[in-house]
Structure 1
């Protein structure tokens, strides 16, 4: 092995010091996650052992990778020296969790790509208070900058979508900085899925037990009757069995809708990235619902462009269309018409304004709205029925779970009251909008508008 020269020895000491510092930083991160329950004991030991082994190997072999003064005896085939700082930066950039290094005055000195995406940071990081307006987190960072230990901080945001985050803050000593000897390392852990899963389990049990109580009581009563004095009454038996079948179907629909709502809420904070053609999706929905249309002799007319690309999950958007069109069919009289229109790309105010006008006496309400973005464009899907209409006082509650409008019962196949709640949560996940307009005696118009891909948005802006 080549012995280091006098010129190389200071550089070797610096790199070995940097290697030890990087290994210590990695071990601190792993220990923080173990202390707060994010990693198991075995995983923590394996991770620390791996970091220690790699660091030791590099510590012992660092001298063979240095060659500051290239001479005629230098082997050009030898690998280039590895900068520990570059290696540490590469490790940090590879982490899927947001990590930031905060310096004096709360200024962001370093942020990995996950943190930039999570906080929406640009090329210039700036101050933490400008991108994270959470007083508890800012206070914890200030405490860490004074060299004091800090407990984890939890915070929640309700807009534009609900999210729950746990912030881990730890002080880091900067030996080479006498003016500001302390830095703060901030690690953000998105716990939205965990929180929602816990709440949904509780909600599911509460809602299911409440809504299933009535049909289960009916089934128990009919079964007791059939086992008693109606045992030999064939006419009563057939009537009771028909009612029992309807109640069983209602429970099945209720459980399916509750499960669907739970799945939607689980991913509501993560917007979709795929594209879906709304024009083709409407045709598929019409084919699926054709038997219901024929059963009530309802005419379905569709006005749409050849294609209407939108950003969205195809299965969830199909669920939106099926819910809204089924409601239009369910609450329209026999022999009436249902109209579907796709318009766009439109600005937000144009997308919210219905084209299927019901008249001056109509009431209108926005049930879900996207975050204000002046450059965004939307495709709007509007569905109009010819039902009884909905009173103004009932509009704000339409998207509540299990809410049913008085006088809008739909017979033995009554809905579960979850359809519009599912629509609202899907639209929220897609960062779109959901509006309703209704007039008594004329019907209702439900509108959903969804963002378009970037290429379509730019093309629409250029054509203006």
Structure 2
């Protein structure tokens, strides 16, 4: 009856997390009864099935994909399954819950359960290092063995990040799409009305209006595609990829694909010699392709005809070196880190650096470059006008890959955009290198 009641309140991933929580509750009750009861005689044919059931229950608990913990007196962690150890970053030693989970409401619920009070469900959110939303189920467990502390607390943590982000994604998509689509839709409606009325028989006006309508339709198509791409990235931003990608080969693929676009404006794409034969990083190939493609496309778009765009790849550099790679393009240039990985002096990164010879960006605009729909003054209209979502997509993909994103720019000098990703190691990858893309999987 309890499960049916909860099913009416939860949906999607939240309901799955709640269901797994109840399964974990039953297993914890069963295991606690096994481990705290008085010693039994040597197994016989009569009690052998019970031992097999206990072993199966332990295995099931260990295989559960959600974190489950048993908390004892004083808030000390007595048992934690692998999912809990990964989720909370627990080492081999079991310490105090308060040292790994700094959520006062959850700790209060655990303390109440240890006193034998009723269980509770607590929701909490964190914003650093990444946004997450968690539902914590706390239940008291009474031990069968006598003692001064007859209760333990069962804690199950269900990750609701996906469902919360999906809700916000739908709201953001409607708000952003309605705002950005209003202008081209109004233009199309006006031209359709004109073509249906005063300009019905004016061939010159009809051809001119149809050309403008085509441009506005293409703008709406790009906007919708970018919004969908950004939404997909945000949905999985809290889940780092586990594949590996060669930045050298990937960057060469991007340069080759965009060479015809640069050639039409007599712009030279110069791929500088790499400092290593391969540059394996942890990542998802399609998303890393989209990052580099976005940066190179922007460099081409905002560079004058006949100029040059330099693209370089480095490998095995520290975070500090990645953020400050290369000489400053101008003594007065501004340099800003838009997003960065966690501090780790031993971490090494693969770096892609894209430098153009365009008009540059004023220092005051740099902090806003990765905001949704932000466009620098002078770039909000005209043939080079974009959707204002490209660099926001880059930032979220870099965040998902636990990498970094920096920009350096000076007016009339040009800009340098740098992205870097963790080097692939045996401990941070779980799959073979991504296979070469096919035409069907190519990014726009």
TM range, smaller chain: 0.7 to 0.9
Residue 325 (structure 1) aligns with:
296
Cα distance between partner residues in 2 of 1:210 and 1:409: 15
Alpha carbons 1:344, 1:379 under 8 Å: kept: yes
* Most deviating of 425-434 and 177-186: 177-186
Residue 17 (structure 1) aligns with:
none
CA displacement at 1:149 relative to structure 2: 1.1
Cα distance between partner residues in 2 of 1:97 and 1:308: 35
Structure ID, larger Rg: 1
Cα distance between partner residues in 2 of 1:356 and 1:181: 66
Cα distance between partner residues in 1 of 2:235 and 2:6: 24
Alpha carbons 2:255, 2:271 under 8 Å: kept: no
- Going from structure 1 to structure 2, the CA distance change for 1:47 and 1:169 (only over 3 Å counts) comes to closer
Partner of residue 168 from structure 2, selected from 180, 196, 199: 199
* TM-score between both structures, scaled by the size of structure 1: 0.82
Look up the SS of the partner of 2:120 in the other structure: coil
Write out the 4+ residue segments of structure 1 that deviate beyond 3 Å after TM superposition. Answer: 30-40, 62-65, 79-87
The answer to which structure, 1 or 2, has the higher relative contact order (CA under 8 A, 6+ apart) is 2
Cα distance between partner residues in 2 of 1:412 and 1:182: 70
CA displacement at 1:435 relative to structure 2: 0.4
Alpha carbons 1:250, 1:413 under 8 Å: kept: no
1:378 maps to 2:349: yes
Partner of residue 121 from structure 2, selected from 141, 147, 152: 152
Residue 66 (structure 1) aligns with:
44
Cα distance between partner residues in 2 of 1:147 and 1:456: 42
- Going from structure 1 to structure 2, the CA distance change for 1:417 and 1:165 (only over 3 Å counts) comes to same
Cα distance between partner residues in 1 of 2:152 and 2:427: 45
Partner of residue 448 from structure 1, selected from 419, 423, 432: 419
- Going from structure 1 to structure 2, the CA distance change for 1:224 and 1:108 (only over 3 Å counts) comes to same
Residue 58 (structure 1) aligns with:
none
Residue 76 (structure 2) aligns with:
107
1:271 maps to 2:240: yes
1:168 maps to 2:137: yes
Cα distance between partner residues in 1 of 2:235 and 2:92: 32
CA displacement at 1:32 relative to structure 2: 9.9
Cα distance between partner residues in 2 of 1:285 and 1:377: 23
- Going from structure 1 to structure 2, the CA distance change for 1:31 and 1:211 (only over 3 Å counts) comes to closer
| Cα displacement string for residues 121-157 of structure 1 (whole angstroms, at most 9, x for unaligned residues) | 1111211011111111111111111111133111111
- Going from structure 1 to structure 2, the CA distance change for 1:80 and 1:155 (only over 3 Å counts) comes to closer
Equivalent runs, 1:278-289 vs 2, <5 Å: 278-289=247-258
Residue 361 (structure 2) aligns with:
390
Equivalent runs, 1:24-103 vs 2, <5 Å: 37=10, 66=44, 82=51, 84-103=53-72
- Going from structure 1 to structure 2, the CA distance change for 1:198 and 1:302 (only over 3 Å counts) comes to same
For these two proteins, the number of residue pairs brought into alignment is: 408
Look up the SS of the partner of 1:118 in the other structure: helix
| Cα displacement string for residues 207-259 of structure 1 (whole angstroms, at most 9, x for unaligned residues) | 00000000000011111111111111111111111110000000000000000
Cα distance between partner residues in 1 of 2:187 and 2:93: 65
Look up the SS of the partner of 1:276 in the other structure: strand
Partner of residue 359 from structure 1, selected from 330, 333, 340: 330
Which consecutive unaligned segments of at least 5 residues does structure 1 have? 1-26, 56-61, 69-78, 458-464
* Most deviating of 206-215 and 225-234: 225-234
| Cα displacement string for residues 379-404 of structure 1 (whole angstroms, at most 9, x for unaligned residues) | 11110011111001100100000000
Cα distance between partner residues in 2 of 1:139 and 1:329: 56
Alpha carbons 1:65, 1:80 under 8 Å: kept: no
Which consecutive unaligned segments of at least 5 residues does structure 2 have? 32-39, 429-444
Partner of residue 337 from structure 1, selected from 297, 301, 308: 308
CA displacement at 1:356 relative to structure 2: 4.9
Look up the SS of the partner of 2:232 in the other structure: helix
Alpha carbons 1:331, 1:410 under 8 Å: kept: no
For the aligned residues, what is the CA RMSD? 2.9
1:406 maps to 2:384: no
Alpha carbons 1:275, 1:313 under 8 Å: kept: yes
Cα distance between partner residues in 2 of 1:405 and 1:297: 25
- Going from structure 1 to structure 2, the CA distance change for 1:301 and 1:217 (only over 3 Å counts) comes to same
Look up the SS of the partner of 1:343 in the other structure: strand
1:258 maps to 2:227: yes
* TM-score between both structures, scaled by the size of structure 2: 0.86
* Most deviating of 155-164 and 186-195: 155-164
CA displacement at 1:66 relative to structure 2: 1.2
| Cα displacement string for residues 306-338 of structure 1 (whole angstroms, at most 9, x for unaligned residues) | 211000010000110111100000000000000
Partner of residue 369 from structure 1, selected from 330, 337, 340: 340
1:298 maps to 2:276: no
1:417 maps to 2:388: yes
